[in-house]
Amino acid sequence: MNRARALSILGIVVVLLGGLSWLVRARDSHVGHSHGTSGKSITDTAIEWPSRDRIWRTIALTDYNTRVVFAGVTALGAASGLVGTFLLLRKRSLLSDTVSHCTLPGIGIAFLIGEAAHLSGRSLPLLLAGAAVTGVLGMLAVVTIRARSHVKDDAALAIVLSVFFGLGIALMVVVQQLPTGNAAGLSHFIYGKAAAMTSSDAKLILIASIGAALLCAALFKEFKLLCFDATFARTQGWPTVLLDLALMGLVVAVTVIGLQAVGLLLVVAMLIVPAAAARFWSHRLGVTVLLATVIGAVSGFVGVAASALFPKLPAGAVIVLAAVVCFAASLVFGAERGLCKRWLEQRRVQHRVARQHLLRAIYEWCETCSQPPGRDAVNLLDCPVSLDDLRRANDWSEKRLRQLLRIGFAERLIMLNDNRDAVHLTAEGKLEARRVTRNHRLWETYLLQYADVAPQHIHHNADEIEHVIEPNIVNKLEELLAGREGAALVPADPEKPRVVPLRGAGL
């Protein structure tokens, strides 16, 4: 079961990434000499509103450059959603923000090294390697500060983030004043520029994404244990420090490959938002991981599509906005933890409780009317109840009374008398009132008699005591109730109710 799930997750991720890599490769086989033009940005032909032809070309992915960017960014979205889920569950979300900011000085330094070595300073692998190095350094700095000093976690993150980012900004200014004048594109790493992606960039992203997916699939169980209970993992001999390093290494990798597309300011959103959104839909880790991957991929896709159609729109920002829309929708409609679900559950409980209150109140009123209490079971519930008495006896407000009566009328449990100042139970209402009151009293007695174990058996959905408690205990409870004054036993099997024709009822 578990293995099947892990395999299916892996399968979907690999198919997704494989499909994307096919998109990139397809062009290479058609046209061998694409290197000169593939770097051309799709924003070069900027127009305000997309022509129909352009929309078609974007959707059908006929344009090679668009295809490249689509493949790269979608893969990035998938990988970040996947890794982000574990990061979120490990409660290290903010560490990824710090890591992304720490990459900036690395980019500057790598550029300087490249210039000094007379390589092309804009070589992406070199720049990303530099970014990864300072990203890891920043992460280690946080860990060291946390372990070796009394500085608290959040302060350590803030200090490292600002120091590295400040250093990076200073380096950027220096680099841009170099006479070679090659550094113009470096600021893309701050805000992101997906459109500037070349096919070799996209391939780099794809390879890194596939690697991340494979590592996550292989270490699924280990990461699960690490995120849930790292202490226990340590007692079991799992190298938690190594596992943490692997996870944080994945975070650095995703951050670094995401720099170009979404920029270092927003890459944290790619990691955290899809994962946080997925958490509203499932209580299973496998499903959560898969959903986060899909949400990340879809966000990436939407972002690139928007920026391909409207070249003035920055892809990075749209990607993040698309993810946030997914998050907002999940927050409201999420099947497991969404606000709607919780609200509906709340409503259902309130409704049931209100219904029970009404029926029990009427039953008890009828009981006090008859002498001796509760013994005249046959005609007991025919007694009409004045609305005013009902309200006062139960200390209800006018509003509450109206609310309860509405429920009673809607379900045809009670009917208004001709004078419109009293209600009586319908045939169905009598049955329900007996059932509800009986259950309530049995539960009450059960709580008193079995105080030690009772709380774990009482559940909001357990209306019927027989569904939860063994019959012999129910019998005993009934005996106990029969001997009690006041709240007497409610007959379990009342006589067949007389069929009363229903009159139109309403307030």
In the complex, the residues that contact other proteins under the rule CB under 8 A are: 1-3, 6, 89, 91, 218-222, 224-225, 227-229, 231-232, 234-238, 279, 282-285, 287-288, 452-453, 455-456
Both tokens of residue 426? 């319908």
**385-386 sheet: strands from edge to edge:** 385-386, 422-425, 414-416
Give CA–CA dist 71/55, Å, rounded.
18
Q: How many CB atoms neighbour CB 4 within 10 A? A: 9
Both tokens of residue 369? 């009317």
In the complex with other proteins, the residue whose CB is nearer, 225 or 329, is 225
The least distance separating other proteins from the CB of residue 284, rounded to whole angstroms, comes to 6
The least distance separating other proteins from the CB of residue 484, rounded to whole angstroms, comes to 25
The three-state secondary structure class of 46 is coil
The least distance separating other proteins from the CB of residue 214, rounded to whole angstroms, comes to 11
The least distance separating other proteins from the CB of residue 145, rounded to whole angstroms, comes to 17
In the complex with other proteins, the residue whose CB is nearer, 57 or 337, is 337
Q: How large is the angle between the packed helices 220-228 and 199-218, nearest 10 degrees?
A: 70
In the complex with other proteins, the residue whose CB is nearer, 38 or 85, is 85
The three-state secondary structure class of 381 is helix
Asked whether the bond before 372 is cis by omega within 30 degrees of 0, the reply is yes
The least distance separating other proteins from the CB of residue 405, rounded to whole angstroms, comes to 35
The least distance separating other proteins from the CB of residue 497, rounded to whole angstroms, comes to 36
| Bridge partners of residue 415, in order along the sequence | 424
Residues 261/195, Cβ–Cβ less than 8 Å:
no
Both tokens of residue 111? 């550029």
In the complex with other proteins, the residue whose CB is nearer, 184 or 453, is 453
Give CA–CA dist 488/479, Å, rounded.
10
The least distance separating other proteins from the CB of residue 71, rounded to whole angstroms, comes to 29
The least distance separating other proteins from the CB of residue 440, rounded to whole angstroms, comes to 23
Element holding 11 (H helix, E strand): helix 2-30
In the complex with other proteins, the residue whose CB is nearer, 2 or 397, is 2
Position of tokens 């120091």? 163
In the complex with other proteins, the residue whose CB is nearer, 232 or 343, is 232
For 393-453, where are the E strands, in sequence order? 414-416, 422-425
CA torsion sign for 391, 397, 401, 404 is negative
In the complex with other proteins, the residue whose CB is nearer, 337 or 360, is 337
The least distance separating other proteins from the CB of residue 6, rounded to whole angstroms, comes to 5
In this structure, which long-range contacts are made by residues 38-45, counting pairs with CB atoms below 8 Å and at least 24 apart in sequence?
38/64, 38/65, 38/68, 38/198, 38/199, 38/200, 39/196, 39/198, 40/65, 41/65, 41/193, 41/195, 41/196, 42/66, 42/69, 42/195, 42/308, 42/311, 43/195, 43/307, 43/311, 45/311
DSSP 459: -
In the complex with other proteins, the residue whose CB is nearer, 185 or 286, is 286
Which residues have CB under 8 Å from 11's CB, separation 6+?
none
The least distance separating other proteins from the CB of residue 477, rounded to whole angstroms, comes to 18
In the complex with other proteins, the residue whose CB is nearer, 88 or 102, is 88
For 325-435, where are the E strands, in sequence order? 385-386, 414-416, 422-425
Give CA–CA dist 350/252, Å, rounded.
48
In the complex with other proteins, the residue whose CB is nearer, 218 or 339, is 218
Residues 77/319, Cβ–Cβ less than 8 Å:
yes
Residues 183/176, Cβ–Cβ less than 8 Å:
yes
Element holding 129 (H helix, E strand): helix 124-148
The least distance separating other proteins from the CB of residue 136, rounded to whole angstroms, comes to 24
In the complex with other proteins, the residue whose CB is nearer, 63 or 222, is 222
In the complex with other proteins, the residue whose CB is nearer, 120 or 236, is 236
The least distance separating other proteins from the CB of residue 237, rounded to whole angstroms, comes to 5
Burial profile 300-332: b = 16 or more Cβ within 10 angstroms, e = fewer: bbbbbbbbbbebeebbbbbbbbbbbebbeebbe
The least distance separating other proteins from the CB of residue 368, rounded to whole angstroms, comes to 36
In the complex with other proteins, the residue whose CB is nearer, 112 or 225, is 225
